[in-house]
Amino acid sequence: MKIFNKRTCKVCDAICCRYITIPLKTPEIIEDFENIKWYISHENTEVNIEEDGAWYIKLKTPCEHLSKNNLCSIYKNRPEICKEHTTKSCEKYNEENFILTFKSVEEVNKYIETILKKGRHQTI
Ligand code: SF4
Ligand code: SF4
């Protein structure tokens, strides 16, 4: 039986090929949260704030080049961003470094309430 190295894609269901993330403008005023609420009202979406304060939307949808065996069907010609993504920092072998995740309008409303109570907008 072949023993794989500790960090290998061969024992993974290709987690990183099943979503995309897009940077968002950090909400600065309450009205900015209306778009956030709209985004996460759609299925398979969430909005995350990373440790450095950057906001991202995550769209959970598999890449059309992902084969049934969880391998990339265009491996040699895959996009640069895919080539740069390695097991050194990938989501299978590393904790996701989000300080907050929004999956529902209720969670956004709760966040807004919290920042209003603090009298300023900041990540919590
Ligand atoms: S890079 Fe990480 S998440 Fe992507 S397939 Fe390999 S082990 Fe899985
Ligand atoms: S192009 Fe290949 S490596 Fe990149 S996300 Fe799609 S299946 Fe994964």
Mutate which of 67, 93, 95, 96 to test ligand 1's pocket (most atoms within 8 Å of Cβ)? 93
> 100 CA to middle of ligand 1, Å?
23
* pLDDT tens string 9-22: 989 999 999 999 99
* pLDDT tens string 65-86: 999 999 999 999 999 999 999 9
Pick the closest to residue 58 from 95, 100, 29, 86 (CA basis).
Answer: 100
pLDDT at 4 exceeding the cut of 50: no
The helix-helix angle for 105-118 and 33-40 (nearest 10°) equals 160
Each domain of the chain, given as residue ranges in start order, spans 10-118
Query: How many residues comprise the chain?
Result: 124
pLDDT, residue 33, reads: 96
Global pTM reads 0.86
Smallest-distance ligand from the CA of 81 = 2
Q: Which of 3-7, 30-34, 74-78, 108-112 has the lowest average pLDDT?
A: 3-7
Task: To the nearest 10°, report the CA torsion of 20, 67, 70, 79.
Answer: -40
Report which DSSP code applies to 93. Answer: T
Nearest atom within ligand 2 for CA of residue 71? 7
